[in-house]
Every structure is written in structure tokens, then in C-alpha cells.
Amino acid sequence: MNPLLLFLTLFATSALGANPPYGQLGISGKYLVQASSGQQVQLRGMSLWWSQWMPQFYNADTVNALKNSWNANVVRAAMGVESGGYLDNKQSEIQKVYAVIDAAIAAGIYVVVDWHDSNAQYHQNDAIQFFANISQKYNGNPHIIYEIFNQPQAVSWSSIKPYHLAVIAAIRANDPSNVIVVGTPNWSQFVDEASDNPITGQTNIAYSLQFAAGTHGQWNRDKVQYALNKNLPIFVTQYMTVNTDGFGSVNQGEMNAWWTLLDQNKISHLNWAIEDKDEPTAALWPGTNAQQVGDDSKLTPSGQLVKNKLKSYPAGTSAPPSGSSPAPATTTTKAATTTKATTTTKAGTVTPPSGTPSTPYGQLGISGKYLVSAATGLPVQLHGMSLFWSQWMAQFYNQATVTALKCSWNTNVIRAAMGVESGGYLDNKQAELQKVYAVIDAAIASGIYVVVDWHDHNAQYHQNDAIQFFTNISQKYGNYPNIIYETFNEPLQVSWSSVLKPYHQAVIAAIRANDPNNVIVVGTPNWSQYVDGKKCFISYFLNNLEAKKR
């Protein structure tokens, strides 16, 4: 061979690293396939944790351990976007992802490059920039899989589809072939919605599914089967063996049911996560380092269960046994479309009628760290139940529910969760507002307190709507001591000082213009868990009341 040609051949082989197990991938029907042969394949492996908080695992030691000890043929690099991630530190964060991609290429396994964001529709330009960089740098590497929106929240498929199309176009300008995984509504659980209106005019597109075994059961598998029956290609980019909040015990029974469905349909899957955080979803005990990822003594119960599952697959092959048949299809009835309200009527101030039952402690206030009776100054404790999102469990927004909670459950507070996105207040202002009015009226009639909750994860983007809503409530009910205002249910990974505090101050001012006394509860960062800046998890006394698990 010509020496120059030999050098170029060796250089090209070195640059591309080791070939991944199936070479170039593609999508055919509902399956991930080997592009050259059309063979149906299944990837299985582990996701890393948010890049900005677990950088110690973004290296070749972790990737090699996952391949050689865990029998993984794919790893996921979770590019943290908010809260000190890519938006704040573009170069340092992208270098972490580059390190994992380079390690995966060298090891000869696939790598999912994940835009780990729950609000990606608000960060579209940044996502386009990020994926343009990745697709330019690694164009020609069959190892790469792009995951362009980790967890869309309670938003409609139609509202995030334009985002997907824009980011797909940016990737395809550089990389015409590699698989792209798009996020689906409700934290990538509602693949059935995407199957009713899939992306067209594009090739090699898969749809993300995520689940938590302790929370998402047969009802969600039914949604998956509905989508599969419509030939939708599904890729499980993230699953947990415990509850959706990352806590609870490993649910092996539900995991086995999920793995059966995934294996029968050759659906690829990644477990969340390679982390040494002190929570049950972590695969590693606290203090574990990258050099110890392959050490079984460092595995938590979740890590042990998942590693055993990965090792049960034949090395280097697509896992599912032949002859398995998918579970029978289930019929899903679509809810009727609700007409969008165009006007909102301002509520007038109401004087409490004589004979209204008094509340247990009368007017409430805050003294130091305590909730107190304003009349006596003595600390008090409320205990009760929260209703589910108003747009999805309207059947409980009535007097019968409130009466039962007071008389049978011994609660002294109820929470009306005003759903904001996904068919909630933003789409149907008057209809949703009337549901909350019904619960408030019932609580006043029953003589208990009521938390009026703006049930939103993106309230900073809906500030004017929140001000309008709480203005209505405070004008109508500001004279009642029963009312407690909750102005932001669950802020995500956002800053307290620069994002949340200005929002809260604006909404508080709107409430105080009508109601100078009643207690206002403000949301804190990280799903209202970070009250001290030290990631302290706070357990709520308000639990979800729902007819079934969603």
C-alpha cells in the first residue's frame, strides 16, 4: 500500500475511534435499526447526571466502566441548561459533553447528547447553537444520537413541535443521517399525543419516553402501546426505578413490567442516573468516584438492579428474544376540545355574609418562622389535601369533596390547584377560574382554609396572567380569613434572586392592593425544595388528591 494512503487510513480510523456495535443507525417504522442491514436493534445503558452538578463522571473512566463492567452500549451526556449550566457557562459545559462524546467514540459505543432542559421552548436559539456545534464537530461519527428537548412539561405537543422542527433543521444542515430524539409532552410521558400528529418530512426521528417505576404504571404503558400501534418509534431516554421525585423504594415489580414491554418492542432505554447523590434514584453510593463506577460494592439498590439487567443482555447484540408479541392495544378516548375564553370578568369585592362558619384559628399571620393566629400570636399548623390540576380533575372541584375532607379526613385546609398550561388557565380563563371559585366558596362554607395555588412550573413567563388571576381572587375574597395565596407552585432550576424574587414581588404587590392581611406563600427554586441554598428537600403536608395516578 502507498505509505501516504496507509497513514491517511490509520489517521481516519483513529479519528473515528472504534465502530459502535451496529454502525450507522436509522429509524424504520417503529424500530431503531442498523442502517446498512435494516436489522432491528436495541440500545441500553446509563444516563449521566446534570453536567453542572456531577462533572466528575464526565470522562473516559465512567464510559469505559459502563461498557466493560455494566455491558452498556450507550451512554447519555445530560447537558444541564439552566441553573449554572449551559446558559451561564457555555464553553465549560460543552467541553464536558465533548469529553463524554470522545470517550464513547473511543470505546465504540453510542452516546445520546441530551439538551437537559424542561423549558427548551424558551431557549430555542441556545439549543440551535449547541446542536449546530455538536453536529459540525462530530459529523460523520455514527456514534451520535441527538436528544433535543429532555422534558417538556405540561405543554401541548402542537406548542413544542415548532421548536423541534427548528432544532432538527439546524442539525440536518450538518448531519443528514444520525438519529434525533424529540421530547414529548408531560415530562416526555405522553407519546400518544405525538403519535396522533408525528413529525413529517424528516427521516430518522424517534420520540422520547420517560417514566418512574414507582409512579407510572399500566396507564402509562397503555399510552406507549397506543403510540406503538400507530408505528411511532420510541426511545426511553431516561427512566427511574423509584418514584418520580427520585425518592421511595426501588419498585422491581413495575420495573420488570416496563422492561418486558421495552424488550418485546425493542425499545432502547437509559437509566437515570450515574450519580453519587444521597437519593434512591442514584446508581452509586455517596463518595463514589469515576474510577469506581465498575465496582459492585459501590452500587445502590437501584444501581444493582439496573446493572444486573444490563448484564443479562447478550454482549454486543440487540436484546429482545424472538417470538415475543406486544401487549394488546388499548383504546384511548380523546377528550373534547374546549373553546378558548377571550375575556376575563373582573370580580368585585365581596363582604362575608353573616353566619359564615369561622375558620379554626381566624385570621392567620406569620411571626418569625411560624404560621400563627393573628388574634393570639400562637403558632398553628394546617394539615390537609391538595386537589389535582383543575383542567384534568374537575370532578373534585366542588362542595362534596371539601365537605368530605373536613368531616371524614379531619383536614383544616384544602388546596385548589389552578392548572395554568396545557388546557388550563392560559387557554380557558373563565372556565378554570370558576372551578377555583367553587372550591373557595365550599371551603368558606365549611369553615376551613383554602390555598389558592397558581399551579405552574413556568410562572416567570406568565407573570401578567398570574397578576390578573390573583387580582381577581384578592378582589373577590380578600375580606375572608380563609384565603392563602400560593403564587408559584414549582419553580424549576432557576435563580431565586434574578428570576423568582422579582416575579414574587410583582404578584405580591397585586394581591396587597386588595388584601393587606392574608398569608402569601412563594415558591422556591428546584421544584420548591431549595429553601436554604443547600438542596434541602422539604416534605409537603399537602398531598395530591386524584382519582387515579397520571
Altogether, the residues listed in the chain come to a count of 550
The C-alpha cell 404504571 sits at 217
Judge whether 408 and 442 are in contact, CB under 8 Å: no
Mean pLDDT, range 119-123, rounded to an integer: 95
Select from 121, 120, 116, 47 the least CA-distant residue to 85: 116
Mean of all residue pLDDT scores within the chain: 86
What pLDDT, on a 0 to 100 scale, did the predictor assign at position 26? 98
pLDDT of 65 > 90? The answer is yes
Q: How far apart are CA 528 and CA 550, in angstroms?
A: 21
What is the share, in percent, of the chain residues with pLDDT greater than 70?
A: 85
The number of C-alpha atoms within 13 Å of 34 and in the hemisphere containing its C-beta is 13
Confidence check: pLDDT of 540 > 60: no
Q: At what angle do helices 252-264 and 218-229 cross, to 10 degrees?
A: 10
Stretch (H or E) spanning 526: helix 525-528
pLDDT confidence of residue 538: 32
Q: Which amino acid is at 219?
A: W
The CA distance from 95 to 51, in Å, is 10
- Least Cα distance to 297 among 284, 309, 311, 314 occurs for 284
Would the pLDDT of 25 be above 50?
Answer: yes
**Average pLDDT of the residues in 207-228:** 95
Taking CB atoms within 8 Å and a gap of at least 24, the contacts of 439-442 are 439/387, 439/397, 439/398, 439/401, 439/402, 439/414, 440/416, 440/473, 440/477, 440/482, 440/483, 441/399, 442/398, 442/399, 442/401, 442/402, 442/403
What residues form DSSP beta bridges with 250? none
What are the φ/ψ torsions at residue 170 (nearest 5 degrees)?
-65, -40
pTM higher than 0.75 for the full model?
no
Return the number of other C-beta atoms located less than 10 Å from residue 521's C-beta: 18
Question: Each residue of 220-255: b (16+ CB within 10 Å) or e?
Answer: bbbbbbbbbbeebbbbbbbbbbbbbbbebebbeebb
Instruction: Kindly state the DSSP code that residue 444 receives in the 8-state scheme.
Output: H
Counts for the chain of helices (H) and strands (E), in that order: 15, 18
> Which one-letter DSSP state was computed for residue 61?
H
- Categorise residue 496: left if φ over 0, alpha if ψ from -120 to 50, beta otherwise: alpha
Residues 6+ apart with CB under 8 A from 280: 241, 242, 246, 247, 248, 249, 250, 300, 301, 302
* pLDDT given for residue 154 in this prediction: 85
In this predicted structure, what is the pLDDT of residue 357? 63
Lowest mean pLDDT segment, chosen from 262-276, 326-340, 480-494: 326-340
Q: Given this model, what pLDDT does residue 358 score?
A: 63
Residue range 442-457: mean pLDDT, rounded: 91
Residue 227 φ then ψ, to 5°: -70, -40
Cell digits of residue 260 = 418486558
Please check the confidence at residue 254 and state whether its pLDDT lies above 90. Answer: yes
**Do the Cβ atoms of 103 and 63 come closer than 8 Å?**
yes
Supply the pLDDT for residue 445: 84
